[in-house]
Amino acid sequence: MLDVAERAGVSKASVSRFIGDDRALLSDAIALRIEQAIDTLGYRPNQMARGLKRGRTRLIGMLMADIRNPYSVAVMHGVETACRRHGYSLVVCNTDRDPEQERLQLAALRSYNIEGLIVNTLGKHLDELRELHAELPMVLVDRKVDHLPSDLVGLDNDGAVRMALEHLQQRGYRDLALVSEPQDGTSSRTERISAFTALIGKNKALRGQVLQTGEDLAASVQSFMVAPGPGPKALFCANGVAALATTLALRELHCTLFADIGLIALDDLDWYPLVGDGITALAQPTHDIGVRAFECLLGRLRGDTSQAQSLDLPAQLIVRGSTPPKK
């Protein structure tokens, strides 16, 4: 900065104003001289040092449970897009679904002097999350954490499950199985299973059961297919991971996709249209979830002290060939 000031023939304070938020205080002539000196010398301000000096880094932290999951990538892209639009940068840490890694990554994010935090968490470190929440604004994505009064942005899970069952029933399916990853305390999985069980219980025209992904999935699917039931059968996959596991199980069983059994999946991944005549999907508004999560966080950064809110965004039904009408 001193080199720029000397070359432009101005004070160091004027250079500081030019690269900071007070450029309007400078005359056009002085601003032009500083700009020319910066271009000539190739000066680049140290944003981290400036942020530490002012108490603002314009860094947003994001903790992801599994960065390899297409859902996580899409949500992260939404957050990053919104950050860039408002002049923030995003620091992402991945835990690989490892509770110990989550603890270490939370400590790492704190050391970066982030201004706010967006969290997709396993929920195993409540004390650390509550400590961070007391220090800075925090928004949860997809997964609730009990006893953590933080904003939450995610899918309307009840609405998505209801949409799936209504579509299957309209198409003539009567015997349904929800395929889910094993319950591990993840709120979104629990909500989808609970909604499925509750809606089946209220609808006398449908019968339903819950299957889990894992080594025994193919055997479980086969047992479901051969068991007598009230009518045509369909599988409802609770997320993209379950959809892939189920599709592989059906191929292992040499099923004719999708004549032998219907299939609908939550999430809408790039490979869904490539399987048979395409997999009917309930697309999550992943990009919007990321954007809304950042917007909630930005509101808190700007002083919003209202009660924590939960934003449940609706799914979009995309009908493909995996749910052909049944008589």
Report residue 115 as tokens.
């201004």
- Residue 74, phi-psi category: left (phi > 0), alpha (psi -120 to 50), beta (remainder): alpha
* Per-residue model confidence (pLDDT) at position 153: 97
Per-chain mean pLDDT for the chain = 91
| pLDDT reading at 46 higher than 80 | no
The predicted pLDDT at position 242 comes to: 96
Q: Is the pLDDT of residue 60 over 90?
A: yes
Average pLDDT estimate for 31-55: 71
pLDDT tens-place string over residues 225-268: 999 999 999 999 999 999 999 999 999 999 988 888 999 999 99
Q: What is the pLDDT of residue 45?
A: 64
Band of pLDDT at residue 140, cut at 50, 70 and 90: very high
For residues 18 and 34, the answer to whether their CB atoms sit within 8 Å is yes
Do residues 91 and 34 lie in contact, with contact meaning Cβ atoms separated by under 8 Å?
Answer: no
Rounded Cα distance between 185 and 112, Å, is 29
* Residues 6 or more apart in contact with residue 262 via CB below 8 angstroms: 168, 171, 173, 232, 233, 234, 235, 322, 323, 324, 326
Residues 74-132: pLDDT tens digits? 999 999 999 999 989 999 999 988 888 988 998 888 888 899 999 998 777 788 888 88
pLDDT band at 224 (very low <50, low <70, confident <90, very high): very high
Q: Which helix (H) or strand (E) holds 209?
A: strand 207-212
What is the arrangement of strands in the sheet containing 138-141, beginning at the earlier edge strand? 89-94, 59-64, 116-119, 138-141, 151-155, 310-313
Structural contact between residues 178 and 208, judged by C-beta atoms closer than 8 angstroms: yes
Using pLDDT thresholds of 50, 70 and 90, give the confidence band for residue 50: low
* Contacts of residue 144, Cβ cutoff 8 Å, sequence gap at least 6: 123, 152, 187, 310
- DSSP string for 229-269: -SS-EEEEESSHHHHHHHHHHHHHTT--TTTSSEEEEEB--
| Nearest of 197, 69, 81 to residue 122 by alpha carbon | 69
- Domains, the chain, ordered by start: 2-45 (no CATH), 57-155+287-313 (3.40.50.2300), 157-284 (3.40.50.2300)
Q: How long, in residues, is the chain?
A: 327
Return the residue matching tokens 């039904």. Answer: 317
